Structure 1
């Protein structure tokens, strides 16, 4: 009975081991060739590029109302692209969808497998030299020549002058192997590493980065809270121990009245409300602090500061009015009686200080500039200031340094790949010199180089013969 149990255990172990070998053999023989196929890598790259373009064209991280307004179902864009399709497929946050990240991982896996199964063995083979000791071996080379004069020693010096690395065995001085441009074999490996690093940086940024938008009035302090898009691991990146104060927001206008540039003067404050960083930002000149970047992207009117008769100064919020996309106008209502039974409407379209005052009947009553007053409904209304608000887009992408590193490696690998890996063999036997070579690129240039080497070899041999004859 014990023997039977032992036999069963051995049989089960053998079966499990056999199954393991079968799976490994299937992966190696069936799956690995597909994974390392160049056509698959190109197809994956094109698909990734297509969805990246989609993420650029379709606005990312917007609200539901935005997509419903800009991508209606009837009529749908291109007949199928509606807000429901966008939200269902995750096209409103393409770079963080599971299927896009899966494409990046699959593409990176394909490149990594190709590097280990093809590029590294090719480099290893290129570093391994093999001497040709039979004349018939030279007939298999792309370029070969048979000379009735010349020597291996003369050829050796010529090749060294042309930056070739020469190999010879101490006991076989009639045989020579030389090569140059081994860096060209390393280039494709660096290219693959660079692309994989870029993919890793993209994935890391998608998982840990976030984007927020804030509209902050001049003089206010805020913390980043209005998150519109964030990765699943972004919580630790959102600043909680420091805040930002908008010291001032202003707009420079051209003589014609159009906007020239808008600016925000920002201060970064620690928990003790002490300034730890300060910068005036404008378009394309953001503030960067602890991996978080503040971009100047929008502006608005936050409030108007007024005084009624001799009252204290009131700061009354202003709201953006719906003009069906014709222009941007902000408005508010200002009471002129304590019981709020009467009031006036006040409108402004920019921060140049001009406001329009309408009465209860909706008729334009007066036009004022900041600092001016008017009598209406039996009171003196003074407009002191129009308070602007800055629109900030706030981003954190920890993957950017990794992506930049990957691009640097990619460019380095591309440059290295332009170097040709050239190989030359030589054999001196029975009074004849056999020379042959091959290269992996720039065939015409290599042919010209080979002709130059043979010409130099013939010229050197001629000079030696003249010296002998003179002697």
Structure 2
């Protein structure tokens, strides 16, 4: 034997060993229900953590909300979140690995258990001995009778009937055996959609003042296969942003009137969005998530309308407040500080010494440092979250199929056998669920076989229905 033949022989042995290991060791492990449950619990736990812990935020955000001292629950700090990837759970390698492993387990279970169960349900044989009926959940023996007298009762109950000589087999509800396979397939579709969305989706955040236009550029989180090029050919204009307030002064709802513009600046879509009512365009969804105060428009005496930006001030967690400084002299030697908490409330005016001088509202005027100051408009900014998730249609398809397959799984697979032999008629059956309903159906069929003029005796087998799985 030359070295080439020896190498081929060794390779064949290795391949055979791998096949044996896969079939006898690895495949049963992957198809184990306990492993599938464990993986499902892990996926659920990490999904919950991804819901509780804000995703895709900056490191300073996590440093502020998850400090090292004191650590949340004694261990959860911003360093733990960053190191473990809990700030981007759904795109971490370990979470995607869990999804793939769970999908592999479902696939293994489908091919090792569900398909064989379906094959066994479709492969049937006629009974040719009366003793075979003793093993059934419910059976009866008639001293007289024929298979033809049984046919109408079975047809009325939509059984599919097979007959050969003096033997009969009938079944219905084969879809109940197909249901579990479709359940697994739909779950695999959901997993595939989740993985595809994590790999190709992205999220951006924009804070745009009322009247401004923008192209989505501030992408804060993206999958390795994401394609931001779909954002290059169009832009968005914020026609108007406003807030509705409750009688008590709290925020009721905030709105953005948005226009989608093409390359030439022509409007191709226009919608009013608010919380829970986003705008969708070319696979991208714009959500209303936040707001801010962008600028103040004002007039000094008879000057043109001027505009200055307003910045959010640090209040140490005591609420949100914005401020700016307005000069009241051309040489900027004097001026006032203006503070605002919202788009409808009172604006506070302070002098250079930090003393409150007066209050004013939008559309009103006041005299300060000998100058008439009129507040024309408080300009708000809309906070938008922009997301693209190409996996969502796949996930929705999987969930729709899952609901259908769950209903399919509740259909009982019922089987009935009959044998006419030695002047006697034997009838029996079994089902995989709804045992009581099946027992009633069998009894009704047997009662229909009995006729007043016939002296047939029906003997119900003592086998308990509960013992038939």
TM-score for both structures, normalised by structure 1: 0.93
DSSP 3-state at the match of 1:459: coil
Structure 1 position 460, deviation (Å)? 7.8
Note the 1:295-444 alignment, pairs <5 A.
Answer: 295-352=287-344, 354-444=346-436
Q: Is the 8 A contact 1:149 1:458 kept in 2?
A: no
How far, CA to CA, are the matches of 2:385 and 2:401 in structure 1? 30
How far, CA to CA, are the matches of 1:28 and 1:343 in structure 2? 83
Q: Is residue 21 of structure 2 the alignment partner of residue 29 of structure 1?
A: no
Q: Is residue 440 of structure 2 the alignment partner of residue 445 of structure 1?
A: no
CA separation of 1:41/1:224 partners in 2, compared to 1, >3 Å: closer, same or farther? same
Deviations 1:160-189 (A, max 9, x none): 1111111012xx1x1000101101001001
Match of 2:69 in 1: 74
How far, CA to CA, are the matches of 2:268 and 2:8 in structure 1? 66
Q: Is residue 269 of structure 2 the alignment partner of residue 277 of structure 1?
A: yes
Note the 1:3-18 alignment, pairs <5 A.
Answer: 5=2, 8-18=3-13
Structure 1 position 322, deviation (Å)? 1.4
Structure 1 position 380, deviation (Å)? 3.1
Match of 2:459 in 1: none
| Range 228-237 or range 370-379, more displaced | 370-379
Structure 1 position 238, deviation (Å)? 4.8
How far, CA to CA, are the matches of 1:81 and 1:208 in structure 2? 29
Deviations 1:292-349 (A, max 9, x none): 1111111111000122334332210001111222222110011223332322101111
How far, CA to CA, are the matches of 2:328 and 2:88 in structure 1? 48
Structure 1 position 213, deviation (Å)? 1.4
DSSP 3-state at the match of 1:462: coil
Q: Is residue 103 of structure 2 the alignment partner of residue 108 of structure 1?
A: yes
Note the 1:211-230 alignment, pairs <5 A.
Answer: 211-230=203-222
How far, CA to CA, are the matches of 1:147 and 1:163 in structure 2? 23
Q: Residue 189 of structure 1 is aligned with which of 167, 175, 181?
A: 181
Q: Is the 8 A contact 1:132 1:425 kept in 2?
A: yes
DSSP 3-state at the match of 1:144: strand
Match of 1:161 in 2: 156
Match of 1:118 in 2: 113
Structure 1 position 377, deviation (Å)? 2.9
Structure 1 position 255, deviation (Å)? 2.8
How far, CA to CA, are the matches of 1:271 and 1:462 in structure 2? 88
Structure 1 position 391, deviation (Å)? 1.0
DSSP 3-state at the match of 2:19: helix
How far, CA to CA, are the matches of 2:4 and 2:391 in structure 1? 51
Gaps of 5+ in 2: 457-469
Structure 1 position 121, deviation (Å)? 1.8
Match of 2:465 in 1: none
Structure 1 position 12, deviation (Å)? 2.1
Deviations 1:3-46 (A, max 9, x none): x53xx322321221121111111101110001111111111111
Deviations 1:368-405 (A, max 9, x none): 22333333334333322111111111111111111110
Deviations 1:180-201 (A, max 9, x none): 1101001001100110000001
Deviations 1:110-141 (A, max 9, x none): 11121122211211221122111111222222
Q: Residue 62 of structure 1 is aligned with which of 53, 57, 63?
A: 57
Match of 1:99 in 2: 94
How far, CA to CA, are the matches of 2:364 and 2:52 in structure 1? 47
RMSD of equivalent CA atoms: 1.7
CA separation of 1:460/1:121 partners in 2, compared to 1, >3 Å: closer, same or farther? farther
| Range 335-344 or range 145-154, more displaced | 335-344
DSSP 3-state at the match of 1:403: helix
| Range 96-105 or range 333-342, more displaced | 333-342
DSSP 3-state at the match of 1:256: coil
How far, CA to CA, are the matches of 1:238 and 1:361 in structure 2? 52
Match of 1:177 in 2: 169
Structure 1 position 353, deviation (Å)? 6.0
Runs of 4+ in 1 over 6 A off after TM superposition: none
Gaps of 5+ in 1: 465-471
